[in-house]
Each structure stands twice: as structure tokens, then as C-alpha cells.
Amino acid sequence: MRAANQNPTSSDSSFDPSTATIVAVTFNRSGLLSRLLTSIGEMDPKPGHVVVIDNASSDDTTEVVESFRERIGTELVYRRLETNTGGSGGFSAGMQTAYELGSEWMWLMDDDVEVIPDGLAKMGRWSRRFRSIQGRRYDFDGSEFYWQYRIAARMGIPIPFAPAEFDESGFKEMNSGCFEGMFIHRDVVGRIGLPDPRFFIYWDDQVYGWLASRITTSVIVNEFVLRRTREIKQWDMGIRHMNASSDAYRYYIMRNRALIKQYYRSLGVYHPALFAAGTTLTFVKELIRLLVVERTVRGTRHLFRGLRDGRAIAQDRSWQPMPPLELSARPVA
């Protein structure tokens, strides 16, 4: 692992919240979005911009966003897409918008969270040492949410029992990412490009965080900065939880394994046997989710459909990863 920058050099400057942009992606959940925007209005300090990407919602999202324009306390940028591009396409569009605004930092989040009032200040404290940072969040019931911050890279799957405790340093190195709270510097984005909209949903943030960790020290910090505002059906496994899913998620979970495979091939890290084992374990996990959390087997066909459609992606010899935004980007600390 790369050594963290324990002692910032003289070229490091104090964090300026106005250089940060919150990027929020929403789709037909104006009530939840309203809670998020309300929490942003209560932040101290506030970011320089808030970018809301609307994935072609059919509810009153546009009206809700406009109602906050004069009272949110910072510049609000609203972009409504013509079609629903999924979370992947939404965050890709949102980060592109933030990048074009000149933002130094981009803080990503879904519409089903709210920001802790001093959340940006907490993240900013780490900005002198790291360029890819993940904060922590509270779950809907107020409990501490455990996020799987490390992956078994060659298998392309999360490690479910990576240690949850933090030592006195207050951070842990990670090789993954989560768009529910990712705080990333424009230099990293310039090097690795935008999130890949071809994922639509699922695995997109893991791959993006993994790409970031290949060029900079990526960390999860012991700072609670978000709170989930939507309850999700779960299976309590003691120290971990398994959430309910949907047929769409089941499809993309399996289909998008092919996109991960293509990224691994492009970087020369693809190991067929280990990656196949990761795909098998993913399939088994989704079967358990169906049987134990959702108590049905009817969603199984969507897993097989995803595997089938993924084969065409994996066999596409013209496939290319997302390009960097800056071909001569500055080195990333």
C-alpha cells in the first residue's frame, strides 16, 4: 500500500468549502430530495455549489428543486436528463457538471440521505492529506452503518468482514468506493475519468473507487457526515446486515460483472479463475438474499438474464474504459 501523507507539505493549503460541490442524483423521490436539500441549507459551512441531477423524474422534482433555489444558501445547479440513466449515468453527468464548474472537491450522494450540519467541515479536515475520501453515515434507525470498504481485488467482490474499528489515526485505507458519500478531488477525476454510465446501477462506485485507489491513497475516515432517510428491509446477521433488493438490481449485479472483467483486462489484472469465483460467490449471495430476506425464488431468472447479457459485453473486442479528462493531469498525492 502507498504510505499516507502524514505531514502535509507547504504546498498544501487550508480547506476552502467554496471549492467543494455536492452532487446529488435523484429519480422520482422528491420527498426524500426535499429532506436532503433542507439539510444542505442547514450546513455550516456550505459548499460552493450544489448540483442536482434529475434522472428524468415524472413527479414534482423540478418544482421542489426550484423552491430551494433562493433559500438553500449556495449556488444550486439543476440538470434534468432526457432519460433515466441510472445512478451511474446520473453521477457521471453530475461529476462532469461539477468538474466544468471548476470544483476542486466533489461530494457525491443519493437523494435518500441528509447531511450532518458540520459534515463538510469534517471531510475538509482530511483534504490536506488525501484525495479520495469516504466518510461514514448513520443508518435510518440511527445505528452506525458498516460499509465494506475493501474488496478482494482479483475476485472483484467486497470483503464482508474487514475490521470495522478505527485506531487512533482515524482512517483506514480502502480500495473501493461508494457514491453515497464519496469525497474526491478533481485531480483524481482528471486522471481516471468520469464514472462509467454503462453500469446503469451497481458495481459502478466500487470500480470507480478501485480505480482511484490505484493512483492515490484512498481512505475511509471515522467521521459521521451523512444519515440515511429511507428505511430498507434487512436481514440482521448480528454484526452485519443484508438488505432487500429488486429485480433490476439482480439483473445488473450479474450483467455488470462483465464490465468489471473488461476493466480488469484493460489494466492487465484479470485473473480468470479468481474472477469466476467472485462471480459465483456473487450469484450465491443473491440467491441467499432472495430466500432469506425476500422469501421468494421468483427473481432468480433476472440473475440468469444478467449473466446472459453480460456475455456479449465480455466478448466485445471494441470495448474501451472511460477516458481520462486530463491527458496531462498533475500527479496525484
pLDDT tens for each residue of 222-275: 999 999 999 775 545 444 555 657 899 999 999 999 999 999 999 999 999 999
Whether residue 1 lies inside any domain: the answer is: no
Asked if the model's pLDDT at residue 3 lies above 50, the reply is no
- What's the total number of domains in the chain? 2
Question: What would the mean pLDDT of 176-188 be, rounded to a whole number?
Answer: 98
C-alpha dist (Å) from residue 63 to 31, 42, 69, 192, 230: 11, 20, 10, 35, 21
Whether residue 320 lies inside any domain: the answer is: no
Do 24 and 168 belong to one domain? yes
- pLDDT band at 160; cut points 50, 70, 90: confident
Summarised one tens digit per residue, pLDDT across range 276-305 is: 999 999 999 999 988 887 677 788 999 999
Say what the pTM is. 0.92
For the beta carbon of residue 169, count every other beta carbon within 10 angstroms.
11
Do 146 and 47 belong to one domain? yes
Do 49 and 189 belong to one domain? yes
Q: Output the DSSP codes for 150-161.
A: -EETTTTEE-TT
Boundaries of domain holding 262? 236-314
Summarised one tens digit per residue, pLDDT across range 114-144 is: 999 999 999 999 999 999 999 999 999 999 9
Higher pLDDT, 161 or 44: 44
C-alpha dist (Å) from residue 230 to 112, 113, 141, 171, 252: 6, 8, 9, 27, 22
Do 188 and 249 belong to one domain? no
Do 244 and 98 belong to one domain? no
At residue 28, the pLDDT reads: 98
